[in-house]
Amino acid sequence: MSEAEKAPSRSLVEVTDLTVEFGELRAVDRLSFRLQRGAALALVGESGSGKSTVAAALLGLHRGTGARVAGAIEVAGVDVQEAPEQTLRRLRGGKAAMVFQDPLSSLDPYYAIGDQIAEVYRVHTRASRRAARARAVEVLDRVGIPDAVRRSRSRPHEFSGGMRQRALIAMALACEPDLLIADEPTTALDVTVQAQILDLLHTLREEMGTGLLLVTHDVGVAAESVDEVLVMRHGRSVEHGPVSAVLGSPEQPYTRELLGAVPRVDVPRASSEAPEEPAAVVLEATGLRREFGRGKRALTAVDDVSLTIHRGETLGIVGESGSGKTTLGRMLVGLLEPTAGEVRYDGHARVGVNPAVQMVFQDPVSSLNPRRSVGESIADPLRARGEGDERRVRGRVRELLERVGLEAAHYDRYPHEFSGGQRQRVGIARALAADPRVIVCDEPVSALDVTTQAHVIALLGELQRELGLALVFVAHDLAVVRQVSDRVAVMRRGRIVEEGPADEVYDNPQDPYTKQLLAAVPALDPQIAAQRRAARRELAVV
Amino acid sequence: MTGFGGFILRRAVGALVTLFALSVIIYVVFYVTPGNVAQITCGPRCSPAQVQQVAGQLHLDDPLYARYWHFLQGLFVGQDYSTGTSVQHCSAPCLGLSYQSDQQVTELILAKLPVTASLALGAMVLWLVIGVGTGVLSVWRRGRLTERLLTTLTLAGMSTPVFVIGLVLMIVVCGQLELLPFPQYVAFTDDPEQWAWNLLLPWLSLALIESATYARLTRASMLETLAEDHVRTFRAYGVGERGIIWRHALRGAVAPLIAVNANNIGVLFGGAVLTETLFGLPGIGQEMVEAVKVVDLPVVVGMVLVTGFFVVLANAVADVLYAVADRRVVLT
């Protein structure tokens, strides 16, 4: 290694007093850290903590954007702050390569994957078109794309999410960089795919000695992948140390709070709300089936699903993307008509929307009308029920706002004035407005930071206790589902593969798919993570 | 049917159905227009008996559907027309005879079409080159004086009527500088060089105005693409500004350019009335104006149908090209 000889004691990354300001906002505040060659460091923090800003600063990507960057940044021997554009371009992708978060939007939709990788390769080498193309196939093969020659001609939309992420990693590997910067590389992926990608990153590091800077909000992902952790908050470093120390015995209160908020998949639910006696059935689905499209292109999203939901209990429905869990949720509420089967409420078959069964949606941003005040949004279900007295509507809305932990005075505010967690509270208030007995929550916390997540989950539990609500909690996050559910149903390809009391399903899974899902969940303890990684190799996806 | 072949076939069938619907609507709209067609055709000095005779020849007394059927027959198998003294055979595709000159409408159109086609295609090439070039340049120099200048120029271009630019060009280039003779149409088959020189000014005046739209469209789509995540990816991999602009940003503008261009070229085939009149080009646009003036319905209907044909054709071709340009398009 000639580079290693040149600077034997030099670290791969050295950041000193880095400060990044966007106008008035100080996104990163005097942050310092270093990363040795071949080592792995995770920047962990909630949204807005400045972690991605740091990642971009390492490649000098803030140049020309109007951001003010102060402090010293040295990456692979390049002074990023001072280097001329030409040197910086050689660094980017050549010595330090970035793996971005959203693999669909991070690739050019118009070109074949192989051509995009070849383009990057040719920027950094004098390879011919053919040689570059061959290199692209080689790295695609390396990251586990089957039939890489043929698939290198596919465009990004023809790849699945996991394959796209692999392709992005292949692009990063093309020039054999010394440093991989991975910005939330698995956030958009299903848990089993996430495990595969993390395992891939791990193997690549072992084999090629690449340094890794991982940016993530997910403590579990960090525990799986790195040696050192730097916890960030408001642009500052809160705690920095070896992963086992920071996650095992955190010193700072914020780190403890962060870790405490992470839902645990291996720990039973703190308190069960389930009534001791089997309560009456409120909602019952029998033989539900839903197809989309016709003829050859028909897709069965939900296939012969039967469920019962009892008064006051929480049924968790867990599954990966495309498993049909959202379709099922929508049919339970009556937003979608089943192709076959029926939904019975209180023993009577129902068609269409039922005020007693309400829904809380995933994306608290897009599920509220940005042009209407939140009070008006919450008032909609009341007015839809025929409540004409404006004073009573306003009174009830204020009551609901307070009930979900907001202020009555928030009535006239607009969604953009609220944080993600607050918006989801508005969504919950809107669902409560119709005095429902069942609320179907479709990924209610997946867009939220862990600490916010914990608060919203606590609120749902409280409401359930006080109002005797039955909850159907649809989510992809196994840990979250365990922490809220009395019973759990695991969905795969439109069917329920396993159903039972939450603790039984989690502690003693019967179905191989459930086992595979559980094995894929990142563990908070690095040692357990290593054991799991070994176990996954044995379980290897069917 | 699935796949690309099926898509093209479905698109072609769709185009035919559209054309059929268009023909019905055009026929009904024009032939129920008020005014005594027989009187107009015959001339002001005709006696009522003569007018009656003309009405018979024109089948004006038949019910509308019968006349439409007649029209369709002409279109597909041809038709014989009696003009009182002689019988004229009009072979398919027959769009009828001109009320004014007894000339076959199909022949009339075929005689004018090369002029209009020359004008339209040449102008298209020019406006694509000028428009896309300007768009790319203003993106390349974004945030600088050049961009602001180009943006102002394109705005001026979009709001200038063709006869202003055309007139100015003609006065300056032909009148004062005497660089070119005043345009006079020369058929391509007669003398390709003279054809091009004579059409240069009409092309330029059309293209200068149209290219403004394309410049703005190119600029807008490119800026939109530049803000996308995948451009950030390639920047973070050391791809230079030239590669970003030409390979990635411009690629995003191709599909919208195809869509807009198809529409324009289709419409232009129906005749650029102002340009043709201004430069004295004997194209479809001019002929159409003449026909409308004297209520020569068969000519008007024929020309509108031909225009419609080109619009539909251009859009069908554009749909196919669009699907090729953007493979994410779901073929239905």
The pLDDT of residue B271 is: 66
Ranges A1-15, A473-487, B251-265: which has the least confidence? A1-15
- Assess contact for A108 and B248: CB atoms under 8 A: yes
What is the pLDDT averaged over residues B293-308?
85
- Which residues in chain B have Cβ-Cβ distances shorter than 8 Å to A98? 233, 236-237
pLDDT in tens, A223-258: 888 999 999 999 999 999 999 999 989 999 999 999
Instruction: Give the pLDDT band (50/70/90) at residue A1.
Output: very low
Residue in this structure with the two tokens 């001791």, named with its chain if needed: A276
Rg of chain B, C-alpha, whole Å:
24
The pLDDT of residue A359 is: 93
Instruction: Give the pLDDT band (50/70/90) at residue A283.
Output: very high
% chain B with pLDDT above 90? 18
Q: Does A122 touch chain B (CB under 8 A)?
A: no
Ranges A246-250, A433-437, B185-189, B229-233: which has the least confidence? B185-189
Instruction: Give the pLDDT band (50/70/90) at residue A288.
Output: very high
What is the pLDDT averaged over residues A140-166?
89
What is the pLDDT averaged over residues A111-132?
94
What is the pLDDT averaged over residues A21-33?
92
Q: Does A279 touch chain B (CB under 8 A)?
A: no
The pLDDT of residue B101 is: 79
Candidate from A92, A116, A296 with C-beta closest to B236: A92
- The nearest CA of chain A is from the CA of B134 a distance in Å of 23
Counting one residue from A and one from B, how many pairs have CB atoms under 8 Å apart?
A: 76
Candidate from A93, A157, A296 with C-beta closest to B237: A93
The pLDDT of residue A58 is: 95
- The nearest CA of chain A is from the CA of B231 a distance in Å of 7
Q: Is B106-325 a CATH 1.10.3720.10 domain?
A: yes
The residue that leads in pLDDT, B81 or A68, is A68
Minimum CA–CA partner of B324 in chain A: A110
pLDDT in tens, A303-314: 999 999 999 899
How far is it, in rounded angstroms, from Cα A432 to Cα A381? 9
- The nearest CA of chain B is from the CA of A9 a distance in Å of 27
Q: Does A295 touch chain B (CB under 8 A)?
A: no
What is the pLDDT averaged over residues A145-156?
91
The residue that leads in pLDDT, A528 or A377, is A377
Cα distances from A355 to residues A385, A395, A451, A492, in angstroms, run 8, 20, 31, 29
- Which residues in chain B have Cβ-Cβ distances shorter than 8 Å to A116? 234
Minimum CA–CA partner of A55 in chain B: B236
Q: Does A504 touch chain B (CB under 8 A)?
A: no
Ranges A12-26, B68-82, B190-204, B275-289: which has the least confidence? B68-82
Q: What predicted TM-score, i.e. pTM, was given to this entire model?
A: 0.79
Instruction: Give the pLDDT band (50/70/90) at residue A541.
Output: very low
Degrees, nearest 5: CA angle A70-A76-A81: 20
Q: Is A279-356+437-450+460-501 a CATH 3.40.50.300 domain?
A: yes
% chain A with pLDDT above 90? 56
The pLDDT of residue A350 is: 80
- Assess contact for B209 and B167: CB atoms under 8 A: no
Instruction: Give the pLDDT band (50/70/90) at residue B166.
Output: confident
pLDDT in tens, A166-175: 899 999 999 9
Q: Does A83 touch chain B (CB under 8 A)?
A: no
CB contact under 8 A, B234 and A119: yes
Q: Does A167 touch chain B (CB under 8 A)?
A: no
Q: Which of A108, A159, A171 to mutate to test the interface with B (most CBs of B within 10 A)?
A: A108
How far is it, in rounded angstroms, from Cα A208 to Cα A139? 13
pLDDT in tens, B133-147: 999 999 998 888 888
pLDDT in tens, B42-85: 777 778 887 787 777 777 777 878 888 888 888 888 877 766 66
CB contact under 8 A, B240 and A89: yes
Candidate from B2, B228, B254 with C-beta closest to A105: B228
Ranges A401-415, A527-541, B18-32, B263-277: which has the least confidence? A527-541
- CA A458 to chain centroid: 20
Residues in CB range of A460: below 8 A, 6 or more apart: A428, A441, A444, A471, A473, A484
| Interfacial residues of B (vs A; Cβ cutoff 8 Å) | 2, 228-230, 232-240, 243, 247-248, 251-252, 254, 325-328
Whether residue B283 is predicted with pLDDT greater than 60 in this model: the reply is: yes
- Assess contact for A167 and A140: CB atoms under 8 A: yes
Name residue B215's amino acid.
A
Q: Does A352 touch chain B (CB under 8 A)?
A: no
The pLDDT of residue A28 is: 94
Q: Cα torsion at A435, A440, A446, A451 (round to 10°)?
A: 40
Closest CA to A137 of A124, A149, A122, A126: A149
Task: Collapse the DSSP code of B160 into the 3-class scheme (helix H, G, I; strand E, B; otherwise coil) and give the result.
Answer: coil
Minimum CA–CA partner of B226 in chain A: A108
Reply yes or no: is the peptide bond before residue B181 cis, omega within 30 of 0. no
- Which residues in chain A have Cβ-Cβ distances shorter than 8 Å to B233? 98, 100, 106-108, 168, 171
The pLDDT of residue A537 is: 74
Q: Does A93 touch chain B (CB under 8 A)?
A: yes
Whether residue B233 is predicted with pLDDT greater than 70 in this model: the reply is: yes
- Assess contact for A524 and A220: CB atoms under 8 A: yes
- Which residues in chain B have Cβ-Cβ distances shorter than 8 Å to A106? 229-230, 232-233
CB contact under 8 A, B233 and A110: no
CB contact under 8 A, A120 and B239: yes
Minimum CA–CA partner of A60 in chain B: B236
Count Cα atoms within 13 angstroms, Cβ side, for A423.
22
Whether residue A9 is predicted with pLDDT greater than 70 in this model: the reply is: no
Ranges A8-12, A282-286, A532-536: which has the least confidence? A8-12
Whether residue B228 is predicted with pLDDT greater than 70 in this model: the reply is: yes
How far is it, in rounded angstroms, from Cα B174 to Cα A501? 90
% chain B with pLDDT above 70? 96
- The nearest CA of chain B is from the CA of A497 a distance in Å of 33
Minimum CA–CA partner of A116 in chain B: B234
Whether residue B224 is predicted with pLDDT greater than 80 in this model: the reply is: yes
How far is it, in rounded angstroms, from Cα A142 to Cα A130? 18
- The nearest CA of chain B is from the CA of A285 a distance in Å of 34
Residue-wise over A322-349: b if at least 16 C-beta within 10 A, else e?
Answer: bbbbbbbbbbbbbebebbebebebeeee
Whether residue A5 is predicted with pLDDT greater than 70 in this model: the reply is: no
% chain A with pLDDT above 70? 96
Instruction: Give the pLDDT band (50/70/90) at residue A509.
Output: very high
CB contact under 8 A, B248 and A108: yes
CB contact under 8 A, A106 and B233: yes
- The nearest CA of chain B is from the CA of A63 a distance in Å of 11
CB contact under 8 A, B236 and A109: no
Candidate from B233, B243, B326 with C-beta closest to A100: B233
CB contact under 8 A, B232 and A92: no
How far is it, in rounded angstroms, from Cα B234 to Cα B244? 7
Q: Residue B178 forms beta bridges with which residues? A: none
CB contact under 8 A, A108 and B230: yes
CB contact under 8 A, A108 and B234: yes
Q: Does A294 touch chain B (CB under 8 A)?
A: no
Instruction: Give the pLDDT band (50/70/90) at residue A373.
Output: very high
Average pLDDT value over all residues in chain A: 88
- The nearest CA of chain A is from the CA of B256 a distance in Å of 14
Please say whether the dihedral angle defined by the alpha carbons of residues A448, A360, A488 and A538, taken in this order, is positive or negative.
negative
The pLDDT of residue A186 is: 85
Burial class (CB in 10 A: 0-12, 13-18, 19+), B4: exposed
How far is it, in rounded angstroms, from Cα A520 to Cα A363? 25
Domain ranges of chain A: 108-176, 279-356+437-450+460-501, 360-435
Domain ranges of chain B: 3-105, 106-325
Ranges A355-359, A414-418, B162-166, B254-258: which has the least confidence? B162-166
How far is it, in rounded angstroms, from Cα A138 to Cα A125? 16
The pLDDT of residue B155 is: 84
